[in-house]
């Protein structure tokens, strides 16, 4: 048997994603700095976007999909008067228009139309797939704006804007804060706001401030991690404790889920795929914990249906012999 590559370390680190790097580039760098065997991110940010990017290591990767499905929050700047192919500053200019004179009341009247449940057509330059191909590949094949919109229209969906706030207004720019459901494209939201104003708009700045329960106050920069990795040293004598102390536990991804305590015997059965009978009320999403004799260890997530606990995702853990 070959030696495993990397450490079996589990936890979540909230990275302050810098501009200019893809989410996957950040993921690979974090994985290398922690010398982690397994890592995954929780929803990509474009290279020209910054902010909260939770990276899951080890067993915490089993929570990645939950974070992908979670609500997000952003600060963004809408540049008025131009429509661009990508919906951001990277794209070519499709058309321009004169920006009308605006006041806060006029802007608020427009923003009020985009709160609550809203239909969105995803941008052509997105990773959504049509006939097995990402939309951005189709977009780069020289389609006209009309052709691009016709393809994207087939992916229309309903999203929810929980909060949409005007922070500052300048002559041709609006600084906005958004809290929204999964699947929301801020580029599309800004474009639609621009259309409602009558002059078009694109995203000139995008910074994510929250992803599920994780927020800006928990962010760590890549530079800080790199310095700690240097101090950790290399080889068998490397001391990763300073880096590992930054990791949040996997269950921090689901702080609102109720905990179900299990004896070691019950936990062992669950880890073998066996359901457990209980008198608990039904619950669609619960944390499963082995709690006995000073042991307190999360073993996974599950549900309670008809008085039976069923596992949904189990973690690779070692429990003491019963």
Our CA dihedral for 303, 42, 163, 88, rounded to 10 degrees, sits at -150
| Helix extents (H) in the chain | 23-34, 64-68, 104-111, 135-139, 145-153, 186-197, 222-232, 241-244, 264-271
Please enumerate in sequence order all residues whose Cβ is within 8 A of that of 208, keeping only pairs 6 or more positions apart, or say none. Answer: 17, 45, 49, 50, 51, 52, 53, 72, 73, 74
Sequence-distant (≥ 6) Cβ neighbours of residue 313 within 8 angstroms: 62, 63, 300, 301, 302
Cα angle 244, 12, 262 (rounded to 5 degrees) comes to 100
Query: Which residues partner with 56 through β-bridges?
Result: 12, 40
Instruction: Tell me how far apart the alpha carbons of residues 42 and 54 are, in angstroms, rounded to a whole number.
Output: 6
Give the pairing of strands 201-211 and 50-57: parallel
Q: Quick check: is 175 catalytic?
A: no
Dihedral sign for Cα 92, 96, 101, 107, please.
Answer: negative
Sign of CA dihedral 264, 265, 269, 270: negative
321 is written with which tokens? 């012999």
Catalytic residue (choose from 16, 46, 75, 192): 46
d(CA 124, CA 140): 9
Q: For 106-113, which contacts have Cβ atoms below 8 Å and span 24 or more sequence positions?
A: 107/166, 107/169, 107/174, 107/197, 108/166, 110/193, 110/196, 110/197, 111/164, 111/165, 111/166, 111/176, 111/193, 113/196
Active site residue ranges = 46
């Amino acid at each position: 048997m070959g030696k495993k590559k990397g450490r079996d370390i589990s936890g979540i680190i909230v990275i302050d994603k810098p501009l200019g790097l893809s989410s996957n580039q950040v993921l690979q760098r974090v994985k290398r700095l922690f010398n982690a065997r397994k890592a995954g991110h929780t929803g990509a940010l474009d290279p020209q976007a910054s902010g909260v990017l939770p990276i899951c290591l080890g067993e915490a990767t089993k929570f990645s999909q939950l974070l992908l499905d979670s609500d997000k929050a952003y600060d963004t700047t809408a540049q008025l008067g131009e429509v661009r192919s990508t919906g951001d500053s990277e794209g070519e200019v499709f058309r321009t228009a004169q920006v009308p004179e605006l006041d806060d009341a006029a802007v608020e009247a427009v923003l009020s139309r985009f709160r609550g449940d809203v239909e969105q057509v995803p941008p052509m330059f997105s990773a959504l797939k049509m006939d097995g191909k990402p939309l951005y590949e189709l977009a780069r094949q020289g389609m006209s704006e009309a052709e691009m919109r016709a393809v994207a229209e087939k992916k229309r969906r309903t999203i929810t804007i929980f909060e949409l706030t005007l922070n500052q207004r300048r002559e041709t720019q609006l600084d906005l804060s958004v809290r929204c459901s999964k699947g929301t494209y801020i580029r599309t939201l800004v474009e639609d706001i621009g259309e409602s104003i009558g002059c078009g708009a694109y995203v000139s700045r995008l910074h994510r401030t929250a992803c599920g329960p994780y927020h800006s106050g928990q962010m760590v920069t890549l530079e800080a991690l790199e310095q700690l990795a240097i101090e950790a040293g290399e080889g068998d004598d490397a001391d990763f404790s300073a880096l590992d102390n930054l990791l949040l536990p996997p269950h921090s991804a689901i702080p609102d889920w109720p905990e179900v305590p299990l004896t070691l015997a019950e936990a062992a059965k669950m880890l073998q795929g066996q359901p457990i009978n209980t008198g608990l009320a039904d619950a669609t999403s619960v944390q499963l914990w082995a709690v006995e004799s000073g042991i307190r260890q999360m073993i996974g997530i599950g549900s309670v249906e008809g008085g039976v606990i069923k596992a949904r995702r189990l973690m690779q853990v070692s429990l003491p012999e019963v």
